[in-house]
Amino acid sequence: MSKKIEMREQNISQITIGGKVYEHVKTREYTPVSIYQGNGEFLRIGPKDLIAPELNLHKKLLGYGFPVPAILSEGEQDEKFYYTEQSFGDDLLGDVFWKDCIKENRISDEHFSSLLNLSEQFAQAQLKTASTDRDDESFYLGIHMDYVLEELPEIKADILAAFEKIKVRTAGLPTVLTHGDFNAYNLFEGGVIDFGSIHNSPAGYDMVNNIYHTYNFPKTGDYESKRRYEFTQEQIKQYFASMDKIYLQAGLPKLSDFTEDFILGKTIWSVTRMQRYPKVQKWRYDRFKQMLAEYLAGKSIMQIL
């Protein structure tokens, strides 16, 4: 049951709820939901019609065993709704990996093991949500097909053909609840955050792009943002051996059989809504067009990464 607690906004950077002070972390780019940080916890606050479904989803994820933060409190005041959740700390794995690469030019075995252990927990929980009912519309919207067709209308036919090919190739996989942006910058050693892009997709989309998301950033050059880390071939091999084992034990095909399909899906997602970063946007557009041509021709896209 929601408990009403006195809430007072001091300014845009700080909120006080029930005597606890929370400092502003970020406001989402596309929705009026803000996140604040307090002592060992985070606060999510915004319109009830946005926050209440997120809270219900969070509880659902906990029920499936996803490694997500514990819920500490919830409440509403006036037209605002909020809940607080456990903090996993200050060190996102993406930043930890970046520091490793600066220091040793590779992600340490210790920190890679943290990623692998967390990914195994996530994959096993995700497969508990499996359904044999296809949800192609959710997958379509989840990878931003609607946006990419608006932004690149000159190659609309090829993009649609590629989406159909992905659907056919992944038809033997169940549909699962999908994070949508599962990568080291949404992971702490203790768990996963930021389910703002959740949708239904074929099983494996998250798990493949956990490794390959980083390749959607240029490695060198004059760009607004660049690649901060990447995995060694040995680490990639170890990761997919673990994921393949989980999928085979669940009676599914090996995840590694669908690597390129899901990489292309994530590439579609990554090229959209990048107008604020025109240099990276152009780099992603050019790279996507190359990958699209190779994929439709039945050739490997791995050399383009």
CB distance 121 to 105 below 8 Å: no
> pLDDT at position 78, please?
67
> Tens of pLDDT along 173-182?
999 999 999 9
For residue 266, give both structure tokens. Answer: 């994530």
Residues 16, 139, single domain; the answer is no
At residue 31's C-alpha, the angle toward residues 25 and 37, to 5°, is 20
Residues 171, 255, single domain; the answer is yes
DSSP state of 93: H
Task: Report the CATH number that the domain containing residue 34 is assigned in CATH.
Answer: 3.30.200.20
Residues 59, 142, single domain; the answer is no
Report pTM: 0.90
CB distance 195 to 179 below 8 Å: yes
> Tens of pLDDT along 67-125?
999 999 999 876 789 999 999 988 999 999 999 999 999 999 999 999 999 999 999 99
Residue 115's domain spans which residues? 93-304
| Segments of the chain scoring below 70 in pLDDT | 1-12, 78
> Tens of pLDDT along 154-166?
999 999 999 999 9
> pLDDT at position 31, please?
84
Residue in 149, 30, 187, 5 with CA at minimum distance from that of residue 84: 5
Residues 240, 169, single domain; the answer is yes
Give the largest Cα separation in the chain, rounded. 61
